[in-house]
Amino acid sequence: MYESGADILELGVPFSDPTADGPVIQRSSARALKAGIHLADVLEMTRRIRQISDVPIILFSYYNPIMAYGVEKFYKDSVSAGADGVLVVDLPPEESEELTGEWKDDAFCLIRLVAPTTPEDRMRTIAANSSGFLYMVSMTGVTGSGGLDTTETGQYVEKLRQVTELPICVGFGISTPSDVSAVSAVADGAVIGSAFESTIEDNLDNPDLPAIIGKQTAAYKDATR
């Protein structure tokens, strides 16, 4: 993916109850858990990628796997592996001190989500406790749950820009190059998850899967130009 133009890699930590994710990513997480993949394995994958590429790597996790692993150990091992930050989807700012209190490196980012229903004062709180970039959820619901309304997305992004200078990336509902093109016109990045997972699910036994994913990535990248 990074060889085909992905600017950032998001590595998901499998979890048994991924409530923010739709059916496609839920099935992906279940397959990974069945195969014995856990947080330590994702960190090892991060380490291997870092040995051959300097592409930024963001870990995506629910808080339970991090807590079970140990928050201090998670931070140290993530930095050691070469991760650039983490998005903990179910950890609000008010409950983050246990995690971030151990952090000694300002370069390790904590990415946070902002939803269309987030009030402005809440946006300010979230933005003030974020680093790296803000993840703007394009719609209510779970990942992969519907189409993208580009007009509303542009309005959400503009509203968020009034309260932060952080880059804004948009995710949820982005599946086609035209979606990426529309998002790129109003935001700083497009986050794509379920579309890739669908491709993987449809090609689990296909030896050409890496090439297929590379072609899909390149098409998305071309749409940003």
Which residues form the catalytic set?
A: 10, 21
Domain boundaries, the chain: 2-223
pLDDT of 146 reads 54
Paired with 12 in beta bridges are 60
Q: Which CATH superfamily is domain 2-223 in?
A: Aldolase class I (3.20.20.70)
Concatenating the DSSP letter of every residue in 131-189 gives: -S-EEEE-SSS-TT-S---HHHHHHHHHHHHTT--S-EEEESS--SHHHHHHHHTTSSE
pLDDT of 144 reads 45
Q: How far, in Å, are 39, 94, 147 from residue 33 at the CA level?
A: 10, 30, 29
Tokens of 8: 């950032």
pLDDT of 147 reads 62
Per-residue pLDDT 10s for the chain (225 aa) are 989 999 999 999 999 988 888 899 999 999 999 999 999 999 999 999 999 999 999 999 999 999 999 999 999 999 999 999 999 999 988 898 888 887 876 789 999 999 988 999 999 999 999 999 999 998 755 454 456 777 888 899 999 999 999 999 999 889 999 999 999 999 999 999 999 999 999 999 999 999 999 999 999 999 998
Q: How far, in Å, are 11, 50, 61, 163 from residue 86 at the CA level?
A: 9, 16, 7, 22
